[in-house]
Amino acid sequence: MPVVPEDGEETARWVRITGEVQGVWYRGWTCEEAVRRGLNGWVRNRKDGSVEALFAGPAYTVMEMVAACRNGPPAANVRYIESEIAEIPDLIGFEQRPTA
């Protein structure tokens, strides 16, 4: 069973989203949602057709964002989400990065 941080504790999660997630405004939606929640991190397309992101902030808010990624924007068709605990980045704000 995964360890879930305490509610107010800062945490970071890396996620990889697969399915129909490129060309459907997934990155733009992710940026808007992460900024609205006050999270730090980044999102980018991957050459394999998936999207990956890193979310950092209060544990509850990060987990809420990961859960929101299971649906994504209306045009997306998410098939699978992989999520792992990550190191908290030395980054303030949320940004869209180039394809990797």
State the pLDDT at residue 2.
47
Number of domains in the chain: 1
Confidence of residue 6 (pLDDT cuts 50, 70, 90): low
- Annotated active-site residue 77? The verdict is no
| Residue of 13, 16, 27, 46 with catalytic role | 27
pTM score, two decimals? Answer: 0.91
Q: Examine the pLDDT at 5 and tell me if it is beyond 70.
A: no
Q: What is the CATH number of the domain that holds 58?
A: 3.30.70.100
Q: Is residue 31 part of a domain?
A: yes
Tokens of 75: 């045009």
Q: Are 92 and 35 in contact (CB under 8 A)?
A: no
Residue 92 is predicted with a pLDDT of: 95
Q: What is the mean pLDDT of residues 59-77?
A: 96
3-state secondary structure of 91: coil
Residues 85, 31: contact at Cβ < 8 Å?
A: no
Residue found under tokens 């890193």: 54
Q: Which of 44, 45, 77, 79 is catalytic?
A: 45
Residue 13 designated active-site: no
1 against 99, higher pLDDT: 99
Residues 40-60, mean pLDDT to the nearest whole number: 97
| Residue range of the domain that includes 64 | 10-86
